[in-house]
Amino acid sequence: MSTTTLARPLVGRLAVTSLMLGIFAIVTSEILPIGLLTAIGADFGTSDGVTGLTMTLPGIVAAVAAPTVTLTTARLDRRVMLVALMAVLAVADVLAAAATSYWVMLVSRVLVGLTIGGFWSIGAGLAGRLVPPHAVGTATAVIFSAVPLGSVLGVPAGTFIGDLAGWRTAFLALAVLALLVMAALLVLLPPLPAEQVTSPRVLLGLLRARGTVLALLATFLVVLAHFGTYTYVTPFLLDVTGLTPAAVSAVLLVYGAAGIGGNFLAGRATTTRLRAAFAVAGG
């Protein structure tokens, strides 16, 4: 067997890992303010409620950006788009670290939202183009593992860095990670020309299906409840329960670990009792 043949599976796995790290950087950038909300608010002189916009804004922008980016860049090479989006994420994190006012901070969060919507809509389904058919399931699981890892590792680590060196340093560290991932994507991903061009008619057709609308509504309500609580958990733990910043980092770590455990349990439950599993998780 040639060296090239042996190298292809390895390059494919590394490419999948680079996608996973990209989503990890995005998820951590998205939810990092949860662990630093009080510090960010104190720096800009804003209340916890107003500072919570740093969490709300990326989600709103991402909801608009996902279909918009999908449609407007449908004919562009996927590799080029992913590299460009990681560059946008790096700019967003640097802008957050250097923000001289709260409005500049919000601009950086808009860029994070743009990256979330664009990267997810493009990168989440690329596993089948990077690895052999028998490995697609595993590769997809690796890519999506970045979501709980952002909670388990990203937010606690970022909160810890923020406690030691200031919240701006935590965002700078994320900017460095984004640049490293951008370089990895540029080196490891092969050219990925668009295969199927999505049209507005296709998206509108999906929205006309009753099941799709119900699924979107249920997801919206679950995510709204989750982030409505999770966003303000740090001020609650600091001001109401009196925990130290180090203890808050530990709580966030436990929360993320529980999320990973929940993913495995839900994965097993959905194979036999899908509706019950969704109802329990949503409740």
Distance between CA atoms of residues 150 and 60, nearest Å = 20
Q: For residues 87-101, give the mean pLDDT.
A: 95
Res 179 pLDDT > 60: yes
**Predicted confidence band of residue 167 (pLDDT cuts 50, 70, 90):** very high
> 3-282 — its CATH code?
1.20.1250.20
pLDDT in tens, 104-151: 999 999 999 999 988 888 887 787 788 888 777 777 778 877 887 887
Calculate the CA dihedral of residues 72, 74, 75, 77 and round it to 10 degrees.
110
In this prediction, residue 2 carries a pLDDT of 32
Give the C-alpha separation, 92 to 72, whole Å: 21
Tokens of residue 106, six digits: 């919000």
**Domain locations along the chain:** 3-282
Pair 16, 142: CB distance under 8 Å: yes
Q: Is the pLDDT of residue 4 over 60?
A: no
